Structure 1
Amino acid sequence: MIGATATGLARSRGRGVTRRLKFMALALSVAWPMAAAGQEPGRVAGVVRAADTGAPVEGAAVRLAGADVVIAETVTGPGGSFAFNGIAPGEYVLGVRRIGFATYSVPLEMGADGLAPLDVRLSLDPVELEPLEVDVEGRPLRLVETGFYDRLEDGWGTYFEPEWISTRRAGFIRLTDFVSNLQMRAPLSRCPKVPVYYDRRLIGEADGWGTRRPRSINSAGTHRSAIEPPEQLLDQLSVTDLGAAELYPTSSPIPLFALNDTTISCGAIILWSDWMAQMGRVVPQIEVKLCEPAGRAGEVTLDGTVEDRLTEVRLPAARIQASFAPAGERGLHELREIEVRSDSTGRFRLCDLPSGADVTLSPSYGLHQGEAATLRVEPGVAARLVVPVTVPGAVVGRVVNGNTGRGFSAVPVVLVGADVRSVTDGGGRFAMENLRPGSYQVRAECGGFESPTQSVVVPEAQQARVLLVLEPEDPGRDLRRCDN
């Protein structure tokens, strides 16, 4: 899409090009708050406490949202504190969730002077849990984690829950035919094609043009066509691979991982696999009591933490499998294996280990497996284990010369406040990868040109796209390169 846009722009001249480029830049960033001229990004920070005792609440999930998208998320630390930096002035909603407490939500308005530290008070909403593991009836945990039910409650689009799918897919074989059936119940745009996502991955396109056309009996989709469509993954999936679905018209907000020029114009069909919709039965108990050492001679205690590799947020209720040889025995067949859990602050403890033993630790958090680590147990040794839970995202985009409408090469691009830089290629394109999900400010630095700063939200495992248009500081000069 960016390349096609650049080709069209290259044929135009004059200020009309500049106006169109500015409009495109606004369209690409419409979902995210933008800082007004002269206003610097601010900080949203505070402490989460229990309303009855005033004690800090650790492990609470804090979410900052604005313009129908999540701007940033974090988990409170040992003192109940949280902070989001680089937040542009605008209106937001702060939400806080923690098991055992009622959900908290409050609107915020970030002005030019920033916000005073927040004092969030959570009311008790006790939940009784069995020790370590409980069986839960209700919503599939993996589907809950995708935000499916949050969007359903907000009413963004049309939603088909697992129960509805399982009772109505009889008689269908191919997933493409069943998608056509869904479209009859959720009118989409009149675009010729509508993108289809499966577990966040783009797998093909379904025929659009509303839902008044009968379901097709051929491989083209929702209506007959004399031209065979290109091969796509959507055509290869069975209806038994489907567990849940959401359909979005152009008039509704679209989940960030599927937000792009095409879905803004034509809507989107988002499918979730049957595996995602299966009912998970094991729920980790967060309130874990660490063991107490017996204090016997020749035995030591190993303490440690489990963290998310990318965000370094400590992970509660993570599993740690430890294997080691008992004292005086080194045969592999004599290895002893034990398993412990991390507590609400991500700490774990192994008691009464033989001093000098080589212990192999294998951490996991839900379905996420961390790399095994081996260390020798001695007094004072601590273990820091990491699990790749958060998947990094990326910022990709293009820098365009407002005078010519062409891609601007060799222009430095930076993330404000972060040690991340890139340089545009011959077509003005740039990429910044392996970024922590969250809110950033992107700026192009080019002497003789104004340096616009654009807010961008980097989603997990996805790319955020930006278009930066550089206008000359002196409108009378027809600059073609930076004065750096």
Structure 2
Amino acid sequence: MPKKAVWQGIFVFFLDILIAMVFDAGSARAEGSAARFQGIVTSLTGQPLTGASVILVAWPGGKEPIARVSTGEDGRFTIEGPAGARVEVVASMEGYCAYRITDVILGVGDQPQAAIALQRGVRVDGAVRAAQGSPVGGATVRVDLFRLRPSGLRKGSESEGSLSSGRAEVKTSEDGSFSLGVLPVADGYLLEVRHPGYPPHDLRLDLTGRASPAQIAIKLPAPAEIRGLVVGKDGSPVAGAMTRAIDLSRSAPTEEEPREASTSDEGVFRVGPLAPGRYRLEIRPPEGLREILGPIDVAAGASVDVGRIVVRPGVAIDGTVVDRRGDPVAGATVKAFRQLQNGRSLERVTRTGEDGRFRAAGLAEGFYTVRVEPKEPHLSQETEDIEAPATGISLEVGTEAVITGTVVDRNGAPLAKLRVWASASNPRSRYDNMGRAEIVDRESGAFRIRGLREGEVIVSARADRRSPVHSEPMYVEAGGSYGPLNLVLEPGHTIEGRVFDRTTGAGIGGAAVSLAADGDVGAITSRDGRFSLEGLRPGQASLSVEHPSYAPTQVNAVISPDEARLLDIPLEPGAELIVSVRTAQGAPA
């Protein structure tokens, strides 16, 4: 082989190696590149918080911090994480409730600086003990917040302790102690204590003016019970009758109530543990009519015997649930509602067998609405005016329509905080034909909407800092599958402004500014009264502004993609609403 050819081969060989090394190095830099997340942490009044902790945690389900920084003297921070990573941003500080921003994709799309407002909080600790003073371990202690979270906080970016569900929940240790963590300072809490061996126990909790940590001592009342015997008209015991004790002292039952128990083969029942109070006892035998006793007064620790209860026989509605092809629908829930003059009452719940048959027994004679709730892909169906007793009726259920598709930005990239839903194009109510939407793949923005009934629907989507988008109306047929429907979310537009005192001209911090037509879009003004609303569509908009020390107001604005506007919004301090009441003829009342 000529020397020239040899040297050319050697040159090409080393050139390939060099190109591969450069490519691998570039790939490594791309995979290992960092993205920045910046923002400011303040109090609800707009005061910058120095030394607040800000961490990044993998989302969802991450436990260990990816990165951690502290805010500077001006409350600002810059934190770095892997580019393209999905994270949760958590800001916290002693004496304040933690604040979480979920589903953030680092380095994807425009990410303006985050404005995080922390709410003052109090750590709540305590102990649960029985009436005789012994500790109660394994009790569930949870707190519900009656009040909504501070107005203006964006959904999805929530203050810990004032979540959308408004609930924190823990278990007591063996010595009865518990800690609920830091809760926002408020007076609208309901503290609930639940344990299988004790009656439900609730108390109000006011954290205003409380030092941190607040120590709560809880003593559970001695458990009581109601007992008795259920028999038929012939005196024979009735087994399997459901007995329920409903506390009449409560305006509304809790999730665990009413307390209930089934009768034994001998017809005996014991319902408890119960708290002291006044109760109504309901007995539902398998084939007989419902019986109601009460009121029954129950003292702490008492065992109240209501004696012998005779139940009357009832009638039944039975039949078959089928689909549109006439095939039986197994495992469907069937509910029988008795039709009343002022509404309806649920009387029986049963299920269909493998052959689609059902039997709702123990009904009084009269007219009923029967609701069938089948499993997917079938749809729920109601049939009215069924007169009991009724035998051999046939109830037909439809099949759901399904829509699939994707939602991305104009560059085809996925979006943070993506939400997709469907609605009827001409709905009778806001819940018509909404179906069940789910994001099946966040990396590609793929979604699926199930449970749609036949009719014309519109698919809508929105994401953080993006203008919502709506599809053209589309008609879906029962059992049909439609898609892929491709939706593109354009960058939303921004309104910036300043809220100030009309008298002094000073900026007002802590004012809540929100879009009147969409409560999801809102912001809290900074210490100098400035705010920014993002993800808005071009056109006319109405803004609502609220502050505890000022009269609420609404202002109109024009959102233009070509013109950035700074709104000046004055508020009247301490305004008073005066209502003039007059008669129909116009005279003062």
TM-score of the pair, normalised by structure 2: 0.25
Structure with the greater relative contact order (CA < 8 A, sep ≥ 6): 1 or 2? 1
TM-score normalized by structure 1?
0.30
Q: Which has the larger radius of gyration?
A: 2
- Structure with greater strand share of residues: 2
